Amino acid sequence: MPKLKCLNKLLTVGLTTVITIVFSPTVNAQSAKQHKYVVIGYVGGYHGLVDTTMVHASKLNVINYAFVNVKNNRAFLTNLKTDTINFRYLLGLKKANPDLKVVISIGGWLWSRNFSDAVLSDTSRQAFVASAIVLVRKFHLDGIDIDWEYPGMAGAGNIYRDADKQNYTLMFRDLRHGLDSVEHETGKKMLLSAAVGGFKTFLLHTEMDKVAQYLNYINLMTYDYSHGDSVAIHHTNLFASKQYSSDEYAASAVTDFEAAGVPANKLVMGVAFYGHSFKVIDNDQHGLGVKVVGGRIQLGGGYTYIKDSLINKKGFKYYKDKTAKAPYLYNADTKQFVSFDDEWSVKNKCEYVRKNDMAGVMFWEYANDKKEYLLDELDSDL
């Protein structure tokens, strides 16, 4: 997903955070399910076999299966045995929700290294696109999500070049053409989406106004804002906080993408089903905006663990930053600060989605909230 995949690097298995030429008109952003707002959930196949008993298809429009690798200019299933089983299980959820879409997500924080090479020339790009379309056809899937982290930037040590900016656009043009061919042959609606950095620098390295015409959804990774900071800040706040200075927050990302020419009705707000934790130097401001000691830590249990085991327990006290619309925990004894999304912040994000006529919401990732506290909130609000 976003800088979110840094979490994979931090936890090994954790996270960080869910696609040859046609000049077609803008794609309709509505999903097959006749809901006004889409709910997209990333399901992590990199864990191994997916426990589909935890996935409630009736609460979702789209499942983005993460991840498909990029290798030798091809979309590549690294875990072929478990991936194929997972596809069969996930597609079986259509018995409960016939309108559910199951989409492959290509890339992610750790598997974006080879995107630049894969789309560098017409030949390599056509080979990459063809390989992705083969996976869609072979496993009877419903589309492609591209999670390139990030075009024109190093990410997790990626190959990158200035040409990524234009090649990113051409990749989506060619993917759209390939999916349109599948749609024409099968009569089944094919989705194309992108997981994108929820920060302004991403826009400097892409042509999102051009890219948008080929996409159904643009999934804003509006989380991991606390990556690399020297002070403890919110990692998935809706608005700016008064307790520290930063121009990175969800509403700012929405405004920036719209200013770059992306229609609001294709923008999808990101929700984090996991938390970030820091140790700070003192108890000022309950840790918020205070200098950190050491690096960030992801809480492996995600929101289910936070809600059941930490909120107002074990020395952690719950606080709300009402300006930022972001909750946090602080333990004055251990000087530990925890940032996360909860039902209150999700409700505020959903209200923002409605007021700004956005396409809907997406989340990273399902396994981080096995009791579905946040998914139930999304289902209720939207």
> What digits encode the pLDDT tens for the residues 116-132?
999 999 999 999 999 99
Evaluate if residue 273 carries a pLDDT over 60: yes
Higher pLDDT pick, 130 / 296: 130
Model confidence band, residue 23 (pLDDT cutoffs 50, 70, 90): very low
Segment 303-332 shows an average pLDDT of: 97
Give the strands of the sheet with 326-331, arranged side by side: 292-299, 275-280, 336-339, 326-331, 316-321
pLDDT, residue 228, reads: 77
Q: 204-218, pLDDT tens digit by residue?
A: 999 999 999 999 999
Of the candidates 149, 248, 365, 372, the residue annotated as catalytic is 149
pLDDT, residue 29, reads: 45
Q: What percent of the chain lies above the pLDDT cut of 70? A: 90
Structure tokens at 1: 């997903």
Higher pLDDT pick, 15 / 80: 80
pLDDT, residue 25, reads: 40
Q: 93-113, pLDDT tens digit by residue?
A: 999 999 999 999 999 999 999
Query: For residue 71, how many C-alpha atoms fall within 13 Å in the half-sphere facing its CB?
Result: 7
- The residues that bridge with 360 in the sheet, in sequence order, are 38, 268
Q: 128-164, pLDDT tens digit by residue?
A: 999 999 999 999 999 999 999 999 999 999 999 999 9
Domains and CATH numbers, the chain: 3-273+340-381 (3.20.20.80)
pLDDT, residue 297, reads: 76
pLDDT, residue 9, reads: 34
Segment 41-50 shows an average pLDDT of: 95
Q: 324-350, pLDDT tens digit by residue?
A: 999 999 999 999 999 999 999 999 999
372 is catalytic: no
Higher pLDDT pick, 5 / 326: 326
Rounded to the nearest 10 degrees, how much is the dihedral formed by the CA atoms of 221, 219, 140, 113?
-50
Model confidence band, residue 184 (pLDDT cutoffs 50, 70, 90): very high
Instruction: Say how far apart CA 227 and CA 216 lie, in whole Å.
Output: 29
Evaluate if residue 2 carries a pLDDT over 80: no
Model confidence band, residue 296 (pLDDT cutoffs 50, 70, 90): confident
Model confidence band, residue 8 (pLDDT cutoffs 50, 70, 90): very low
**Could you identify the residue written with the tokens 């043009």?**
173
pLDDT, residue 229, reads: 78
pLDDT, residue 1, reads: 58
Burial category of 333 from C-beta neighbours within 10 Å (exposed 0-12, middle 13-18, buried 19 and up): exposed
pLDDT, residue 17, reads: 35
Evaluate if residue 258 carries a pLDDT over 70: yes
